[in-house]
Amino acid sequence: MSQSDAKMGPMPEPTIEHEPILIGGGEVGRCPTRIHYRRFFADERETDPVVERRIADGRRWEATVVASLLDGSGAATMATPTDPFERTAPVTISPVVEPDDREIITARLLDAGVPLIVGGRLTSAALGAVGAPDLLLRLDDGYAPIDVKHHRVIGRSGIPARVTPIKRLADTAGSPLPFRSARVTDLLQVAHYWVLLDHIGHANRRHLAGIIGSDAGPTCAWVDLAGGRPSVLDRYQIAFDMATDVVAAGRVQPDRPLVPAVWRGECRGCPWADVCRAELESIDHVSLLPAVPADDTERLLAAGITTTAHVARLTSDDTPPEMDNATEAILQARARGAGRLLARTGADMTLPDRRVEIDFDVETYRGALYLAGLLVGEPEAVEYRPISDWTGSPDGERRVIAALFEYFDDLADRDDFIVYHWTGYERTILKEASARHGVALRSAPSVDAWFDRHACDLWAWIKQRLVSPNGYSLKVIAPLCGFNWRDDDPGGAQSELWYLDLLAGDLSQRSRLLEYNEDDVAAQRAIRHWVRSHSAASA
Ligand code: SF4
């Protein structure tokens, strides 16, 4: 079956564009298949409530940042191209202004040299580009585009940036910190705006653009778009050309994307995920192996290795030589073919032996802890003991962390127990809540020290010993061990929506959240039961 055949069922009728091609800032660096679907198929996709909430959160964050920037600045708001404004004060273009008028107003403000423009719009038919930068900041003899993002952009390694508090936005010589490489699409987007500004003679000559993320501060990460090899501008040009090619090809052949679907990180939040997943599953596409990063997928496809079944038949001698981790790809393909977990060769499958096994899992909203679930397994009985607060307040979080630490301190007086958790999330949340409220453990100098002594990250334990056919999320591993959640839509993001409903007065969500948390800890217990009762086949 061809890829296009595979996706035909759920597709709406295609529509063909007749306007000149104008690539938007949000399209640069985006999955080419998604660009095609969004442009050439009537968009009747159901919006995922989780994605909807993220978008709403993003808008609220942007409004908060802008309000903070404009506070006390004497900013004016323009609703028509003829509205008056001061050259020396920031200007916000009203959200109700239509695109054509927005461009006229933006041009006026740029020519006048106002210090900050909020809500501008730039178009160039010659470039084939359109863009709506959140902010345009007067810098040197031109402007720098800045976008506001509701995610963290500062990392431990990545693209060199200078980071400055937004209260000193124009200070582009702030602390040298790396901009996360995984967020490079943000930079491609502001590069798009910089190129548009450059085309009309208003770009700052230092090629600077900024991203205000949700890192503590908040702060703006300034990046030299022309720095490094390849520079952000080099990468932008490749991405822009790709987007243009996709749209041009789509106009000729709207029923088939120029670039077929490849499963990637972006798929998780994409409205076309169900279509692409079904299509890729039907052809056993190699990108379905989570252990294969995007670059390795390209290498495999270029070598004519298109299916996971083909990967499963390879040895490390006949994979493309540049692959990052060919061995893991082969093992995962074999697990996928077998449809189950496979033990790694020589792995010691002996779990720690303690009289009491406690499974631990936290529920949070925007990083704030409201529920710590403990499934306490003694030889005689197993009991679920939640520690919770449903007020949504800082005091509530303090009560939860204090009660939990008291429980941990009491536990530490005995030595016959172990606490299991899944990934490092629990440690991180406890450390952050502990610091926020000045609540410390009595039985250990730090959260890390307590966990090092008394806890086991079951996720890491499993990953070291077993090969999964489809990644290492608890929601993947537990069903492979025979466990299923009672809720038919379990997930951390969904649980945040239930929590919001609860705070809004829907008290039925409390039992749903407790049940979900209880199942999360029961899932860990079920995985260990499976490990102990199965001698998994060797990978
Ligand atoms: S699901 Fe993935 S491959 Fe498909 S259009 Fe979306 S991002 Fe692209």
Strand, helix or coil for residue 502: helix
Question: CB–CB of 219/72 below 8 Å?
Answer: no
Closest Cα partner for 24 from 92, 94, 122, 103? 122
Closest Cα partner for 38 from 284, 288, 266? 266
88: left (phi over 0), alpha (psi -120 to 50) or beta: alpha
| pLDDT over 60 (residue 536) | no
Nearest CA to ligand 1 atom 7: 267
| pLDDT over 60 (residue 412) | yes
Question: Could you tell me which residue, 101 or 323, shows the higher pLDDT?
Answer: 101
Structure confidence at residue 162 (pLDDT): 98
- The CATH code for residues 356-533 is 3.30.420.10
Question: CB–CB of 199/135 below 8 Å?
Answer: no
pLDDT class of 403 with cuts at 50, 70, 90: very high
Residue type, 341: L
Strand, helix or coil for residue 138: strand
What is the largest distance, in Å, between two alpha-carbon atoms of the chain? 79
| pLDDT over 60 (residue 15) | no
Residue type, 535: S
Kindly give the distance from the C-alpha atom of residue 488 to the centroid of ligand 1, in angstroms, as a whole number.
24
| pLDDT over 90 (residue 260) | yes
Burial classification of residue 475, based on how many CB atoms lie within 10 Å of its CB (0-12 exposed, 13-18 middle, 19 or more buried):
middle
- Domain boundaries of the chain, sorted by first residue: 3-46+238-252, 58-236, 265-343, 356-533
Angle at 267 between CA 265 and CA 269, to 5 degrees: 100
| pLDDT over 50 (residue 344) | yes
The verdict on the CB of residue 487 being under 6 Å from ligand 1 is no
Structure confidence at residue 223 (pLDDT): 98
The verdict on the CB of residue 40 being under 6 Å from ligand 1 is no
452-to-48, 424, 448, 449 alpha-carbon distances in Å: 39, 12, 6, 5
pLDDT in tens, 143-202: 999 999 999 999 999 999 999 999 999 999 999 999 999 999 999 999 999 999 999 999
Kindly give the distance from the C-alpha atom of residue 420 to the centroid of ligand 1, in angstroms, as a whole number.
35
| pLDDT over 60 (residue 537) | no
Angle at 348 between CA 345 and CA 349, to 5 degrees: 105
Q: Between the CA atoms of 351, 356, 439 and 425, what dihedral angle is there, to the nearest 10 degrees?
A: 30
* Nearest ligand 1 atom, CA 37: 5
DSSP conformation class of 164 = E
CA 442 – CA 246 distance, rounded (Å): 60
Among all chains, which residue has been given the structure tokens 């390879």? 314
Closest Cα partner for 147 from 162, 135, 139? 135
Structure confidence at residue 42 (pLDDT): 67
The verdict on the CB of residue 85 being under 6 Å from ligand 1 is no
The verdict on the CB of residue 481 being under 6 Å from ligand 1 is no
3-state secondary structure 61-74: HHHHHHHHHHCCCC
CA 274 – CA 334 distance, rounded (Å): 24
CA 20 – CA 237 distance, rounded (Å): 19
Region 245-267: mean pLDDT is 94
Question: CB–CB of 282/6 below 8 Å?
Answer: yes
Structure confidence at residue 18 (pLDDT): 64
Retrieve residue 450's tokens. Answer: 């307590």
Structure confidence at residue 322 (pLDDT): 87
pLDDT class of 5 with cuts at 50, 70, 90: very low
| pLDDT over 90 (residue 2) | no
377-to-212, 362, 417, 426, 522 alpha-carbon distances in Å: 46, 17, 9, 19, 10
Question: Could you tell me which residue, 382 or 489, shows the higher pLDDT?
Answer: 382
CA 346 – CA 45 distance, rounded (Å): 47
CA 16 – CA 233 distance, rounded (Å): 31
Structure confidence at residue 12 (pLDDT): 44
DSSP string, 358-398: EEEEEEEETTEEEEEEEEEE-SS-EEEEEEE--S-SHHHHH
The verdict on the CB of residue 270 being under 6 Å from ligand 1 is yes
pLDDT in tens, 54-113: 888 899 999 999 999 999 999 999 999 999 999 999 999 999 999 999 999 999 999 999
Question: CB–CB of 195/247 below 8 Å?
Answer: no
Mean pLDDT score of the chain: 92
Question: CB–CB of 222/161 below 8 Å?
Answer: yes
Rounded to two decimals, what is the model's pTM?
0.82
The verdict on the CB of residue 35 being under 6 Å from ligand 1 is no
Nearest CA to ligand 1 atom 5: 34
The verdict on the CB of residue 277 being under 6 Å from ligand 1 is no
The CA radius of gyration of the chain, in Å to the nearest whole number, is 26
A 10 A CB-CB count for 310 gives 15
Region 353-364: mean pLDDT is 96
| pLDDT over 70 (residue 7) | no
Burial classification of residue 18, based on how many CB atoms lie within 10 Å of its CB (0-12 exposed, 13-18 middle, 19 or more buried):
exposed
The verdict on the CB of residue 34 being under 6 Å from ligand 1 is yes
Report helix angle 447-454 to 394-412, nearest 10: 40
Region 444-469: mean pLDDT is 97
Structure confidence at residue 37 (pLDDT): 93
**φ and ψ of 127, to 5 deg:** -80, -20
| pLDDT over 80 (residue 442) | yes
